[in-house]
Amino acid sequence: MSEKLNLNYPIVLIHGLGALGQLGPIEYFYKIPKWLERNHNRVHVVNLALWNSIDHCAEQLKLAIDNLFPGEKVNLIGHSMGGLNARLFTSRFDLGVRVASVTTIGTPNRGSSIVDHFLELFLNDIIEKTEGLAKKINFSHLGLRQVSKKYFNEHFHITVQDVPGVAYFSATSIIHSPIFLNSLPGFWLTQPILNHYEGDNDGFVSLESAKWGTHICTYNGDHYAQIGQFMGHRKFDHLKFFGEIIGRLRQEGF
């Protein structure tokens, strides 16, 4: 098993919005880094801004990779907004010679309409009133706006293009019925709303939005189950999920 999951290039794991890759003993990618290392991979989990824009995080990602793996190719694996960070980073710095592959997991690659609805209902007012304070502590609400479908349609798909020579993959999950048994309570409201507008989803990102490049797999579970968080669907085998992703990357020669 370890031989099949040993990649040629280092793996960089990129967390999503509102979190850190590692906070003391708390892992964003639960047990995944050590599991990857046991399979003879070189792995690093970045700590990007907790709450900021995709652009800001892409700049931080560049600094981290330049310091960690100077001159080497890497495999980027991003969860949620982390996948957008990886895509923007690769596109902005034209890194076809430095990035072997970009894999997005549960990433709103085409935006999430649930964000548009909540922004319109009440979040726009909150953001406008608190953005000044957020900037004083080096935060920004722009990242939240950037995962909306509005931002994707008006900006992201125009400015961020896939880079020739880089392989793009994706993987995700969807919440099967009954949602009460297959997801966190927090997704009991968002899943049916998103299902109405975009179809099958993980409670935050639809299946169609999550697909990008070669789609590897779709499991049953919510958005947090994909990274093994204790808050996610406990029947979700996140190491098997990651094993399928890494196995595909291995198969493709990365």
Q: What percent of the chain has a predicted confidence (pLDDT) above 90?
A: 80
Q: List, for residues 36-63, the tens digit of each pLDDT value.
A: 999 999 999 999 999 999 999 999 999 9
Q: Which residues form the domain of 216?
A: 11-247
Looking at the 3D structure of the chain, how many domains does it have? 1
Element (H, E) at 249: helix 238-251
Q: Is residue 92 part of a domain?
A: yes
Asked whether residue 253 is domain-assigned, the answer is no
The reply to whether 3 falls in a domain is no
Report yes or no on 4 lying in a domain. no
Residue 2 has a pLDDT of 45
CATH of the domain at 243: 3.40.50.1820
Q: Answer whether residue 254 is part of any domain.
A: no
**Phi and psi, residue 16, nearest 5°:** -95, -175
pLDDT band with cut points at 50, 70 and 90 for residue 230: confident
Its pTM stands at 0.95
The Cα 83–Cα 92 span in angstroms is 14
Helix (DSSP H) and strand (DSSP E) numbers for the chain: 12, 8
Task: Lowest mean pLDDT of 15-29, 32-46, 201-215, 226-240, name the range.
Answer: 226-240
Give the three-state DSSP class for 182: helix
